[in-house]
Chain A
Amino acid sequence: MEKRVKFRGWLLPILLIAPQVVISAVFFFYPAGQAIWQSLFIPDPFGLSMQYVGLGNFEFLLSDKFYRASFATTAVFSILVTLCSMIPALFLAVVADRLIKGSGVYRTLLIWPYAVAPAVAGVLWLFMFNTRVGVVSWYLGQLGYDWNHVLNGTEAMGLVVVASAWGRISYNFLFFFAALQAVPKSVIEAAAIDGAHFWRRFWTIVLPLLSPTTFFLLVVNIVYSFFETFGVIHTITGGGPQQATTILVYKVYSDGFVSQDLGSSSAQSVILLIVVGLLTILQFKFIEKRVHY
């Protein structure tokens, strides 16, 4: 069972949690409260006047079929980014773990992409896939495939997913690699003596033992794909074509900071807050139950 510490009195406990409460209040509750308040108005950009519209901003958003579609876009995007960044990372970690010599070099090289800022990574991929001058799109052209992510929504989605997942593989690799090192060798050796081959050992022993790490990475990667990928999207597609790559957070940014529609942007933040809250509850309720610590 869990250990509980009992404090006598209430002053010390309050003092101990006070810093966290203050930080949450200043950096979370206050801005979140502001967002909820502002979502009830249509303000002008200069803050000179505000028009109370009640739930008008939400009505406006939910009646916009592009906004509704961006929920699906966000789901597809996050799932793909999470899969594309975790599976290769796990594969690379397993392979690097089996190396006897030179694993340090591999590790260092594999971590490098993490040092590249999302917006810069976006520009790098954009150059490679530029429809007219990109190296990759030129080779694809030679193979008879006409790459044009500027007009083709599926290709645009593929490109932003790859560009977002790329740097993330390094991060996930680090965690998987560390977790693999912590798997007790004795268990694996015992299984090997019993005649279990590599893949069987991986599926039945290693993967379950990695589950806390996998769960942690799942949460972190979904949060990443929600909130930190907009630099990539901004530089590669700007949310296009036809909003095929406009995820919820990108729309908050572009409506609020580019278009100065603060009412709609606040309403979107509130909706996003609810979505992320629900997702987190779901993750901890259902997936965490299957995690072996």
Chain B
Amino acid sequence: MQKSILGALAVSTVLSPVAAIAQTEVQFWHAFTGRLGELVAAQVEEFNASQSDYVVVQSHKGNYSETLNSGIAAFRAGEQPHILMVFEVGTATMMSAKGATRPVFEVMAGSGAAFDPNAYIGAVKGYYTTTEGEMLSLPFNSSTPVLWVNRDAFEAAGVDPDTDLSTWQKVGETLDALKAGGSQCPLVTAWQSWIHLENFSAYHDVPFASQDNGFAGLDTELMLNGEAQVAHLTAMGEWAKDGKFIYTGRRNEGGANFRSGECALFTESSAGYAGIKAEAEFDFDVRPLPYWEGVGNGPQNTIIGGASLWVMEGHEDAEYAGVGEFLSFLSSSDVQAKWHQDTGYLPITAEAGEATRAAGFYEDNPGTDIAVIQMTANEPTANSKGLRLGSFDQIRGIIDEELEAIWAGDKTAQEAMDSAKERGDALLRRFESANN
């Protein structure tokens, strides 16, 4: 009862500007709709109800790209929010925008709110900290790719659904068996560049780009045309030609094919959990992302996708204190554990992961901890800390085009990746000259 009154108070406070005058207002722009949007709104309401000094006002600004672009346009017009959600691809853009953003470690130090950068999972933290270990943006929603299995489709094709799928060698044999058993769609993927190149490289501990994948400097060059990557893409290209790997598009179009029960295997983000659980009318399970036995140093650890929260420059000190309080609230163990369990995103602090395990969530929902284990199995190396490349959204577009050329049989994997490197490097040089 008391909770609902508090909740109602919080809502009325957000809605009435008059009541908000006494409190310091903090603007928070994010990219979530639907269920995720509701969960973010609930977090904000809970924070507003928990104290009386600050009011966080959350607004949805479109998808990831649109949210980043709104933030940039708003900054140019001097109307920027305090907190902006930026997807991991935009990280280098934000990092280079010195003067537009205020690093999170500074905000936290200034606000005096509780903050321990070491509480975060290494692979998550690594993506958003400098090489000196200073946290620039607060990890918010992070996921990592895993392998989803449609057990019913395996049985329909006469393949044992418990078969070992830990390596790509074994997956290759399974694809043969699935195809022979009449499967029309043995393997489908989402986010091909993120899973089959970026994560692939980190997972096998081979570089994706020079200068520690861009962490050590802007003078970085792509190295995605290495032996390991080309071998993987050559195998994928063969599978595509034989109808064992079905290409459906650059984003997560493949999700529809998997959730409808058409496809047997699906490489997709761990955050695909909510959608698959809601829609799949078949028996499914989750496996770790496969690796090539004997290639590189795999399995190392996978890297994250998702978004982090950036604090924008140009506001009052009192407002930054409120930002600090809010960010501290978001990274608290309870909030994180609930977020992880509701969405399938990773718990960004080790403590939140422990709390989830202690509550018995992983026993009730088998497989939901695979992503966490896969990310935290090893201490990240220079190749598996993450990626920090300028114009990365464009580079991903180039990679997508070149991958499509492989799937269509127009180019060999080596030709396609050489071309991706050449074209991507040209953009990296532009980014370097724009930010020097």
List A residues at the B interface (Cβ < 8 Å).
Answer: 42-49, 51, 53, 60, 64, 66, 131-133, 150-152, 238, 240-243, 254-255, 257-261, 263-264
| B72 close to A45 (CB less than 8 A) | yes
Q: In the complex, what residues of B have CB within 8 A of residue A48's CB?
A: 97-100
Q: Sorted from nearest, which 9 A-B pairs have the closest CB atoms? A: A42-B434, A259-B394, A151-B408, A46-B100, A241-B404, A46-B97, A242-B401, A47-B76, A45-B72
Known: A42-B433, A261-B391. 16 other contacts (CB 8 A): A44-B96, A44-B435, A45-B97, A48-B97, A51-B434, A53-B433, A60-B430, A132-B248, A133-B256, A133-B260, A240-B250, A240-B400, A243-B401, A258-B69, A260-B69, A263-B430
- Judged by a CB distance under 8 angstroms, whether B182 is at the interface is no
Q: Mark B213-252, 1 if CB is under 8 A from A, else 0.
A: 0000000000000000000000000000000001111100
- Judged by a CB distance under 8 angstroms, whether B75 is at the interface is yes
- Judged by a CB distance under 8 angstroms, whether B328 is at the interface is no
Q: In the complex, what residues of A have CB within 8 A of residue B400's CB?
A: 240
Q: How many chain-B residues does the 8 Å CB contact rule pick out?
A: 39
Q: In the complex, what residues of B have CB within 8 A of residue A42's CB?
A: 430, 433-434
| B262 close to A132 (CB less than 8 A) | yes
**Complex Cα distance A246/B97, Å?**
29
Q: How many A-B residue pairs have CB under 8 A?
A: 86
| B401 close to A131 (CB less than 8 A) | no
- Judged by a CB distance under 8 angstroms, whether B270 is at the interface is no
- 8 chain-A/chain-B pairs, Cβ below 8 angstroms: A43-B434, A48-B98, A49-B435, A132-B257, A257-B69, A258-B393, A259-B397, A261-B391
- Judged by a CB distance under 8 angstroms, whether B436 is at the interface is yes
**Complex Cα distance A51/B99, Å?**
17
Grouping DSSP codes into helix (H, G, I), strand (E, B) and loop, the B interface class, with mixed when no group exceeds half, is helix
Q: Mark B44-72, 1 if CB is under 8 A from A, else 0.
A: 00000000000000000000010001001
| B76 close to A150 (CB less than 8 A) | no
Q: In the complex, what residues of A have CB within 8 A of residue B164's CB?
A: none
- Judged by a CB distance under 8 angstroms, whether B410 is at the interface is yes
**Complex Cα distance A48/B65, Å?**
20
Q: In the complex, what residues of B have CB within 8 A of residue A258's CB?
A: 65, 69, 393-394
| B410 close to A242 (CB less than 8 A) | yes
Least Cβ distance of A146 to chain B in Å?
10
User: Which residue of chain B lies nearest to A241 when distances are taken between CB atoms in the complex?
Assistant: B404
Among A43, A66, A151, the residue within 8 A (CB) of B247 is A151
Q: A132 with B75: in contact, given A151-B404, A241-B401, A263-B434 (CB under 8 Å)?
A: no
Among B93, B97, B408, the residue within 8 A (CB) of A152 is B408
- Judged by a CB distance under 8 angstroms, whether B405 is at the interface is yes
Q: A261 with B394: in contact, given A238-B250, A240-B250 (CB under 8 Å)?
A: yes
- Judged by a CB distance under 8 angstroms, whether B426 is at the interface is yes
Q: In the complex, what residues of B have CB within 8 A of residue A260's CB?
A: 69, 72, 93
Q: In the complex, what residues of A have CB within 8 A of residue B426's CB?
A: 60, 64
CB under 8 Å from chain A, chain B span 380-404? 391, 393-394, 397, 400-402, 404
| B256 close to A132 (CB less than 8 A) | yes
**Complex Cα distance A22/B247, Å?**
52
Q: In the complex, what residues of B have CB within 8 A of residue A44's CB?
A: 96-97, 434-435
**Complex Cα distance A255/B436, Å?**
20
**Complex Cα distance A132/B433, Å?**
43
- Judged by a CB distance under 8 angstroms, whether B148 is at the interface is no
**Complex Cα distance A49/B433, Å?**
11
- Judged by a CB distance under 8 angstroms, whether B345 is at the interface is no
| B433 close to A51 (CB less than 8 A) | yes
